[in-house]
Amino acid sequence: MSHVIRRPLFADLIFNEQGQPVKAVYVGTVPHYVVPDGDFQRHVEAEYVDRQIVGLMQERILAMRDFITAGVIHMLGQEDLFTRASIEHAIENMDRILEPGNVDVDELRTTLWMLKFRATVSVHGEVTRLEVPGWGDGENE
């Protein structure tokens, strides 16, 4: 039985409400984000924050599903039923990136960093804002 070590997906892309960077650390084998809170360092399980971020991103992508699907089909140059179905399936199952080993975490972070992605969390690890250029005002609804 192999154990895949869980890694924080959004390390270096998360900030507290004062704009200070949130660090990623391990408590034992469990990844946590350390949220600065004045003189305190609040530890929040990374999976809790990561699930919120992925959920919010998936919500926004699902709202633009037709536009995104058409864009990817156009980019690939393959306009057929199977391509459309596989793209829609990938969008609907986007939350699978949370499962260890299903995504190259470093590549994901680098891509999001290049897109100027930024998440803001409260001291309790609640995502209060997602900033993704080109996705509207970035406020959570």
The pTM score is 0.82
DSSP E strand stretches across 1-141: 14-16, 23-27, 30-37, 40-45, 118-121, 127-131
Q: How many structural domains does the chain have?
A: 1
pLDDT digits 0-9 by tens, 10-62: 999 999 999 999 999 999 999 999 999 999 999 999 999 999 999 999 998 88
Note whether 73 and 84 are within 8 A (CB).
yes
Question: pLDDT of 75-127, one tens digit each?
Answer: 888 888 888 888 888 888 888 888 888 888 999 999 999 999 999 999 999 99
Close Cβ partners of 104 (under 8 Å, ≥ 6 residues apart)? none
Range of the domain at 58: 14-131
CB-CB contact of 9 with 53 (8 Å): yes
Q: Alpha-carbon distance 9 to 104, whole Å?
A: 9
In a domain, 2, yes or no: no
In a domain, 140, yes or no: no
